[in-house]
Amino acid sequence: MNSVTQPISTTATRRALDTRSQVVPHVVPRKPRRQDLEIKLAELQKDYAALHTAIFEAAQVHRRLCAPRLLSYQDFEIASEIFAVRHLPGDFFTVEETDGGIILALGDICGKGLSAGMWTTHVAGLVRAHTSRTTDTEEIMTQVNVDLTRMLSLRPFASLFLANLNPTTGVLHYSSAGHPPALVLRADGELERLCEGGLLLGVLSDAEYSRGAVQLNYGDMLVVYSDGIIESLNHAGHEFGYERLEAQLRESQADSADSVLFSVLGAVQDFAGTRPLVDDMSLAVVRRANSPAMANARAA
């Protein structure tokens, strides 16, 4: 059988070739117009302003949560200050007046920034809640630790110095949970470190905390601080450290609690120079007057 070859249309061939040779044009995205960019910039500025306002309001809540900068109870003057390294401090200092004494608590949430700052409300709230039930420092510390370790999914770790001061007798009972040792500077220049306590809060649910006691006599001074004080760095990378802190306390020990506070903070700032803070700094100075007469004069 002879095969019949069908003629190919010249027009059809040309159309096929034209179809193959067609190039899909590249679509260039339209560049945002200036007006669009200005609108987006305005929205970002508005969001930033709202965030800045919210952080400022949170910082004011933290300030109200903590003790006033200057307090006095009979012979004792208490001065305190907190500086945040990022927006909202993770340190707190509270003072509660109870029938069983004056409860002092200086805490430091592990970490920095907003997350640490938000945890201060919770931890300080736990301290207050248990202080309303008992004034035994080791019991308060134990219960706060148990409450924190019950938070299985997410919980903070925190160091805490907790003390119960009898303003009439000057007896101070205390317990420390992983906190830098508080210092007692005697009127004669002798210095003691207060180290009784236990582990950081939030680590082990069955952690035990011991209690220490110290007598604050006329002219004696208790200094409690967070590690941001002693770990402040200068441009050479050296820490402020315990020795500089103790030397500064001895240099200013004859002054009021308020003066000692700013003397130490000024020394830390001078040491660091223009180098930024590496951690939140908190400092509390509790000073007993040199004599009852001086305490009465100050109160007047």
pLDDT in tens, 76-106: 999 999 988 877 888 999 999 999 999 999 9
Residue with tokens 């800045």: 52
pLDDT of residue 112: 74
Say whether pLDDT at 160 is over 80: yes
Cα(272)–Cα(277) distance, integer angstroms? 8
Helix (H) or strand (E) holding 160, with range, is strand 158-165
State whether the Cα torsion 65-69-74-75 is positive or negative. positive
Query: Distances from the Cα of 66 to the Cαs of 104, 133, 209, in angstroms?
Result: 11, 20, 24
* Residue 94 three-state SS: strand
pLDDT of residue 149: 94
pLDDT of residue 3: 47
- Average pLDDT over the chain, rounded to an integer: 87
Which of residues 29 and 177 earns the better pLDDT score?
177
Tens of pLDDT along 117-131?
A: 888 989 999 999 999
Q: pLDDT tier at 150 (50, 70, 90 boundaries)?
A: very high
Cα(194)–Cα(173) distance, integer angstroms? 10
- For residue 23, count other CB atoms closer than 10 A to its CB: 5
Cα(288)–Cα(167) distance, integer angstroms? 9
Say whether pLDDT at 1 is over 50: no
CA 49 centroid distance within chain: 23
Query: Distances from the Cα of 54 to the Cαs of 59, 63, 65, 90, 112, in angstroms?
Result: 9, 14, 16, 17, 18
Interacting residues of 19 by C-beta distance below 8 A, sequence separation 6+: none
Say whether pLDDT at 294 is over 80: no
Give the Cα-Cα-Cα angle 90, 94, 97 (nearest 5 degrees).
170
